[in-house]
């Protein structure tokens, strides 16, 4: 128990294959430790005895394969024990992937079969896609593989700020508190949180990311054999469905895991039936997945941006910079129609060019916006370039032609 003040510490005994589901309270962190047995949080083992501090609002489950005793200290929004989980089916998927990785590794690295499994996780919102992706990655990393995590979810992605698609190698089980490591992410900036704003641009960026990874895999037998786990958006109707199909194809996915929706699963099985090397597998959604309202999602996005600049525990200090207007050139991608109506045949609608670059004048409209810093050397390279990091515009002084920003640039490199 904590020393000083009233103690709120309590112990929970978990039977084999059970989990303790926790939502940390809104204001104060929760401490938790493993007293006996073994337990894991989304695929990452909890070290014995050591108190781990979970920040406010975090939602997680402590699962045990053989039984464990947990001690908690602090307030939770909810915490309860569940004895029904889909974990056995998830770990069975992991075992199959493991077999494919071993087979890929055993083959000469120039053969096509030296490519390990390319798993794509699909399903409606709040079906546990990110969580399943995380488990599969952590279990693989625990066995010594370095799988690549690809996050195509521009709304609630877990690699970097919202509005991006990104990829990063996972070299160790993912930390239960810190999440995906931010060391070397490969990030492409889309700039919106819904793909419908510019679905064609989304596709272009997905293709760029896939091609870059393909090049990296070609020179790296180890990551090729480990394969990838691709997380997707919860938008599975209409254009969303088309974007899913597009992602399956662009990344040459070999395993499609469908969470919690029969209809989507049978639709995918149907369209992919001519592709014998693609397995479509239906998996049950966990009862522990916490649904989030549109408002909660919006809030989560703001927290994510804050966290990017200031760190999870306010432990980063972003640089504040003052620059002259002439130091920065700002572009918007995909703005406005391509051709004026007068130049088109009668009745034709001007089509917006998804990848049109529009120079943006620096004025107060940019205040409080987040901009991506591109590695592009020329404007026409912007779309195909990954980004170095992001800046947040804190002030614009029109009289002095000065722009004040907060910057925190990840150490990613140009590809």
> Which stretches of the chain bind ligand ATP, using CB under 6 A?
19, 21, 59-61, 125-131, 153, 156, 234, 286, 288-290
Per the CB < 8 A criterion, the answer to whether 280 and 258 are in contact is yes
Of 254 and 286, which CB lies nearer to ligand ATP in the complex structure?
286
Closest CA to 100 of 133, 135, 136: 136
Per the CB < 8 A criterion, the answer to whether 203 and 163 are in contact is no
Encoded tokens for 10: 């309590």
Q: Min. distance of Cβ 76 from ligand ATP in angstroms?
A: 11
Of 294 and 346, which CB lies nearer to ligand ATP in the complex structure?
294
Rounded Cα–Cα distance for residues 182 and 308 (Å): 10
Per the CB < 8 A criterion, the answer to whether 261 and 236 are in contact is yes
Q: Min. distance of Cβ 10 from ligand ATP in angstroms?
A: 18
Of 84 and 395, which CB lies nearer to ligand ATP in the complex structure?
84
**What is the DSSP annotation of 121-169?**
EE-STTSSHHHHHHHHHHHHHHTT--PEEEE--TTT-SSSSTTEEEEEE
Rounded Cα–Cα distance for residues 273 and 276 (Å): 7
Of 137 and 289, which CB lies nearer to ligand ATP in the complex structure?
289
* Residue whose beta carbon is closest to ligand ATP: 288
Of 152 and 333, which CB lies nearer to ligand ATP in the complex structure?
152
Q: Min. distance of Cβ 363 from ligand ATP in angstroms?
A: 34
Of 130 and 385, which CB lies nearer to ligand ATP in the complex structure?
130
Rounded Cα–Cα distance for residues 11 and 339 (Å): 67
The label of the residue with tokens 């546990």 reads: 128
Of 293 and 399, which CB lies nearer to ligand ATP in the complex structure?
293
Phi, psi for 76 (deg, rounded to 5): -120, 155
Query: Across the chain, which distance is largest between two alpha carbons, in Å?
Result: 79
Q: Min. distance of Cβ 128 from ligand ATP in angstroms?
A: 4
Pairing of strands 228-231, 148-151: parallel
Q: Min. distance of Cβ 132 from ligand ATP in angstroms?
A: 7
Q: Min. distance of Cβ 244 from ligand ATP in angstroms?
A: 12
Rounded Cα–Cα distance for residues 364 and 279 (Å): 51
Q: Min. distance of Cβ 27 from ligand ATP in angstroms?
A: 18
């Amino acid at each position: 128990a904590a020393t000083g003040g009233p103690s709120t510490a309590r112990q929970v005994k978990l039977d084999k294959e059970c989990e303790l589901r926790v939502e940390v309270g809104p204001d104060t962190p929760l401490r938790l430790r493993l007293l006996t047995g073994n337990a894991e949080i989304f695929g990452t083992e909890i070290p014995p005895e050591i108190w781990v501090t979970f920040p406010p609002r975090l939602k997680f489950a402590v699962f045990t394969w053989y039984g464990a005793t947990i001690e908690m200290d602090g307030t939770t929004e909810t915490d309860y024990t569940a004895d029904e989980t889909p974990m056995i089916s998830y770990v069975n998927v992991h075992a199959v992937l493991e077999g494919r990785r071993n087979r890929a590794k055993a083959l000469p690295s120039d053969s096509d079969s030296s490519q390990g499994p390319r798993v794509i996780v699909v399903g409606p919102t709040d079906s546990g896609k990110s969580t399943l992706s995380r488990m599969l990655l952590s279990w693989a990393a625990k066995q010594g593989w370095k799988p690549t995590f690809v996050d195509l979810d521009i709304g609630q992605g877990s690699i970097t700020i919202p509005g991006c698609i990104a990829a990063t190698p996972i070299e160790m089980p993912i930390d239960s508190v810190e999440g995906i490591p931010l060391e070397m992410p490969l990030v492409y900036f889309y700039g919106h949180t819904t793909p419908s704003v510019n679905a064609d641009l989304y596709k272009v960026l997905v293709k760029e990311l896939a091609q870059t990874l393909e090049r990296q895999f070609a020179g790296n037998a180890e990551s090729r054999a480990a394969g990838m786990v691709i997380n997707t958006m919860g938008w599975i109707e209409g254009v969303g469905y088309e974007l899913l199909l597009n992602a399956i194809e662009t990344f040459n996915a070999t395993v499609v895991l469908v969470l919690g929706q029969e209809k989507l699963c049978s639709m995918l099985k149907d369209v992919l039936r001519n592709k014998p090397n693609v397995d479509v597998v239906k998996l049950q959604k966990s009862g522990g997945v916490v649904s989030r309202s549109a408002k909660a999602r919006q809030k989560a996005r703001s927290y994510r941006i804050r966290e990017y600049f200031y760190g999870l525990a306010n432990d980063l200090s972003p640089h504040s910079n003052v620059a002259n207007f002439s130091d920065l050139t700002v572009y918007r991608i995909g703005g406005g129609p391509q051709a004026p109506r007068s130049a088109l045949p009668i009745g034709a609608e001007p089509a917006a060019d998804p990848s049109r670059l529009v120079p943006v004048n620096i004025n107060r409209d940019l205040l409080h916006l987040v901009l991506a810093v591109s590695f592009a050397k020329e404007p026409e390279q912007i779309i195909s370039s990954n980004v170095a990091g992001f800046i947040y515009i804190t002030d614009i002084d029109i009289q002095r032609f000065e722009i004040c920003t907060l910057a925190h640039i990840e150490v990613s490199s140009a590809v």
